[in-house]
Amino acid sequence: MILVDIALPDIVGNAAVAGHFPAGLRLDGKLKTERECQDDDGGAGHCVTLSRLSDLVVGICLRHTGLVNCLTLLPAKTKSQIPSPECGTMARVHRRDFLSPWVVRPALVGFFALALSWAQFHDSTAPELSAHLDLQIDPVMPARVYLFKDDQPFRLSPVQAILPLRIDLFYRERLWTNSPSPETLEVTCNDQSHFFLLKGRASFDLPAGHYRVEAYRGLFFAPAAEHFDLRAGETKKVAVRLKNWAGAARENWISGDDHIHLTRSRADDEVFLRWLAAEDLSVGNFLQLQRQADAAVQYAFGRPGEARRDGYAIRPGHESRSEFYGHVNLLGGREMIRPLSVGAMYANSPESYPFPAVLFAKGRELGATVGYAHFNGSMPHSTLLMDLALGNIDFLEVFQFGVLKTEEWYELLNAGLPATGIAGSDFPVPLNRMKSWPRWLPLLGPERTLVKAPANGAPYEAWAAGVRQGNVVVTNGPLVEISADESTSTVNASASFFRPLEKLEIVRNGQVVAAVRGDGARTTLTISVQVPNTESCWVAARVVARKESDEPDIQAHTNPKYLLRDGKPVMVRGARETLAGRWESEIAWYKSAALVFGSDAQRRAFFEKAELALEDLRRK
């Protein structure tokens, strides 16, 4: 007997092969044909084919979608030869390998690790010692759930899919499944587990005791909980009813998270789409990126890389990063633009080209919606002001990690710069920023971008169009809306939530011009005001709701509506001069930073655009 460790990237499972393995296990991999084996080994019988599956004695294969790790016991005469297209190699093992310690020891270590992983999927227990729980959401729909035994967090078991997250900034985590259509997904990070009923119902085996189960679904459903007791040997059905507090208004909004980093193969799509449904997140933008190597890899781009199901969509894009200009997001383009990163911090070269303006122009040609991540790119220096002045971007992230950057956003709007604010999570980064994740917040889209538009079967396209038009609300809970009548300069705002609202405000050019406070119980608020119309201005509405002790501020903010007088742009005194001075200082830094360009033409292109932006910012 020999012990073989085989790694197979992203090969479609063979149902015929699966039948030769223990129940609940699955072997992924395409076996060679007889002719292929004859051509390869002269018909010596050392190649595994479908007709030679009887040679397999025992096989354990835990399917890691996109990367299959198999530990297989084969007869000594058998050689395993299975194609591995991603790395371009074949796995060949001969009898003599069994005698080599360097083969045996790693294989045994791998087997032990595999056994530990398998324990996450299937608990072996005597049926009479445990209770059987049939858990479902009412009405049946995907949701996120947490179980507590005697008020302490407790694992739901068994699960059929698991995503273990340990953030190292290289985004290599992968989804593992042991079923072609899992019912329950467990996401683990920072010593906390999050469970998703992907089909709205699932069954679990649990010890006797007193339990509480909590259920959550996105932002438009009020959380719910049920208490129950289990006795050994019994089967109990428990239903948790989730109520849509927004009513029919929920159907008018498309929700999106522009910033998710998860490695994705085509086989992952069913689980990920059901996860989106459990978070009630209409659009998930899955972004590939680079930190030396590729990370959060997507299997395709544009429409071929998009996955849709029941009104939910995953659309691939990419985040391009540099220490010189900041981080930028290109959403939904037909192709990925390389290089993904520039500069030694993120790439493998000190070169500083292409700069964001080049990426944005190419991205728009490819149909991408483009803008800045982390408000200004999160680096000490940024070309945000240049790209805003030149009209190169569609958005910037203003709401992330629980922080809504109103002061910085208002400064741009007061300077007459069209800055559409959106929200994005940068998942999975937020999970490591809090020791204990607030259960109210979704994992995907904890802050999300709402667009009021019909999806019409294409949620990404409708959502992206709304972002480009500035028809956006950002929120981590409440719903807020605004309308403005240019003829009368009357502004109306309304807000609603399932929790009490603390205050609703209307701001004009960043200053509060009207406000109404809640009474500790009201879950809807409205307000109306007539604003001065002596000069052009922008108006927006914002609302704050009651929060729990472990939560960030629970709030929402509309994007600006413009009330223009004589067609003149908004221009608050001093705002544009401040930004012009700031950009002039940035240009001086770029000139002194010894940026590495591939040619003089590239350098000239950058500084010509920088000077054009400065000229525009100085224009009153």
Q: What is the mean pLDDT of residues 193-207?
A: 97
Q: What pLDDT sits at residue 124?
A: 57
Look at strands 192-197 and 184-189 and give their pairing.
antiparallel
**What is residue 565's three-state secondary structure?**
coil
Q: What is the mean pLDDT of residues 108-117?
A: 45
Model confidence at 188: pLDDT above 80: yes
Q: In sequence order, what are the residues at sequence separation of 6 or more whose Cβ sits closer than 8 angstroms to the Cβ of residue 314?
A: 264, 269, 272, 273, 276, 283, 284, 286, 306, 307, 308
In which residue are the tokens 């204990």 written? 436
**Are 329 and 449 contacting, i.e. CB atoms less than 8 angstroms apart?**
no
Given 441, 458, 473, which residue is the final one in a domain? 473
Q: What pLDDT sits at residue 123?
A: 54
Report which of residues 101 and 297 the model is more confident about: 297
Q: What pLDDT sits at residue 119?
A: 53
Q: What is the pLDDT of residues 266-298, one digit of tens each?
A: 999 999 999 999 999 999 999 999 999 999 999
> What is the spatial distance between Cα 481 and Cα 453, in angstroms, rounded to a whole number?
13
Report which of residues 181 and 5 the model is more confident about: 181
Task: Tell me: do 315 and 425 sit in the same domain.
Answer: yes
Task: Tell me: do 164 and 16 sit in the same domain.
Answer: no
Q: What is the pLDDT of residues 211-254, one digit of tens each?
A: 999 999 999 999 999 999 999 999 999 999 999 999 999 999 99
Q: What percent of the chain lies above the pLDDT cut of 70? A: 80
In which residue are the tokens 């395409």 written? 30
In which residue are the tokens 């395709």 written? 300
Task: Tell me: do 306 and 405 sit in the same domain.
Answer: yes
Q: Which of 16-25, 195-204, 451-460, 501-510 shows the lowest per-residue confidence on average (mean pLDDT)?
A: 16-25
Model confidence at 91: pLDDT above 50: no
> What is the spatial distance between Cα 523 and Cα 105, in angstroms, rounded to a whole number?
63
**What is residue 150's three-state secondary structure?**
coil
Burial zone of 310 (CB within 10 Å; 0-12 exposed, 13-18 middle, 19+ buried) = exposed
Q: How confident is the model at residue 589 (pLDDT cuts 50, 70, 90)?
A: very high
DSSP class of 413: H
Q: Residue 408: what are its φ and ψ, rounded to 5°?
A: -70, -35
In which residue are the tokens 């040679």 written? 55
Q: What is the mean pLDDT of residues 400-416?
A: 98
> What is the spatial distance between Cα 345 and Cα 380, in angstroms, rounded to a whole number?
13
Task: Tell me: do 176 and 199 sit in the same domain.
Answer: yes
Task: Tell me: do 232 and 331 sit in the same domain.
Answer: no
Task: Tell me: do 368 and 232 sit in the same domain.
Answer: no
Domain span at residue 44 reads 2-121
Task: Tell me: do 344 and 359 sit in the same domain.
Answer: yes
> What is the spatial distance between Cα 198 and Cα 262, in angstroms, rounded to a whole number?
18
Task: Tell me: do 294 and 385 sit in the same domain.
Answer: yes
Task: Tell me: do 112 and 146 sit in the same domain.
Answer: no
Number of Cα atoms under 13 Å in the Cβ half of residue 64: 18
Given 86, 103, 121, which residue is the final one in a domain? 121
Q: What is the pLDDT of residues 130-153, one digit of tens each?
A: 999 999 999 999 999 999 999 999
| Alpha carbon of residue 408 to chain centroid | 25
Q: What is the pTM of this model?
A: 0.83
Q: Which of 119-123, 345-349, 404-408 shows the lowest per-residue confidence on average (mean pLDDT)?
A: 119-123
Model confidence at 317: pLDDT above 70: yes
Task: Tell me: do 219 and 204 sit in the same domain.
Answer: yes
Q: What is the pLDDT of residues 43-71, one digit of tens each?
A: 333 333 333 333 333 333 333 333 333 33
Model confidence at 73: pLDDT above 80: no
**What is residue 398's three-state secondary structure?**
strand
Model confidence at 85: pLDDT above 60: no
Q: Which CATH number belongs to the domain containing residue 196 in this structure?
A: 2.60.40.1120
Residue type, 170: F
CA 80, 82, 84, 90 dihedral sign is: positive
Number of Cα atoms under 13 Å in the Cβ half of residue 360: 21
Q: How confident is the model at residue 125 (pLDDT cuts 50, 70, 90)?
A: low
Q: Considering its fold, how many domains does the chain have in total?
A: 5
Residue type, 32: K
**What is residue 101's three-state secondary structure?**
helix
Say if residue 139 is preceded by a cis peptide, omega within 30 of 0: yes
Q: Residue 316: what are its φ and ψ, rounded to 5°?
A: -80, 150
In which residue are the tokens 């051509």 written? 39
Task: Tell me: do 88 and 115 sit in the same domain.
Answer: yes
Q: Which of 5-14, 397-406, 551-560, 594-603 shows the lowest per-residue confidence on average (mean pLDDT)?
A: 5-14
In which residue are the tokens 């998860």 written? 262
∠ CA(97), CA(103), CA(104), 5° rounding? 100
List C-alpha distances in Å: 406 to 23, 86, 328.
Answer: 55, 46, 20
Q: How confident is the model at residue 167 (pLDDT cuts 50, 70, 90)?
A: low
Q: Which CATH number belongs to the domain containing residue 536 in this structure?
A: 2.60.40.2060
Q: What is the pLDDT of residues 427-480, one digit of tens each?
A: 999 998 888 999 999 999 999 999 999 999 999 999 999 999 999 999 999 999
What mean pLDDT is reported for the chain?
84
DSSP class of 247: G
Given 205, 226, 245, which residue is the final one in a domain? 245
Task: Tell me: do 132 and 117 sit in the same domain.
Answer: no
∠ CA(522), CA(443), CA(190), 5° rounding? 120
Q: What pLDDT sits at residue 435?
A: 81
End-to-end Cα, the chain, rounded Å: 82
Q: Which CATH number belongs to the domain containing residue 351 in this structure?
A: 3.20.20.140
List residues bridging with 322 in a β-sheet: 326, 342
Q: What pLDDT sits at residue 433?
A: 87
> What is the spatial distance between Cα 351 and Cα 338, in angstroms, rounded to a whole number?
13
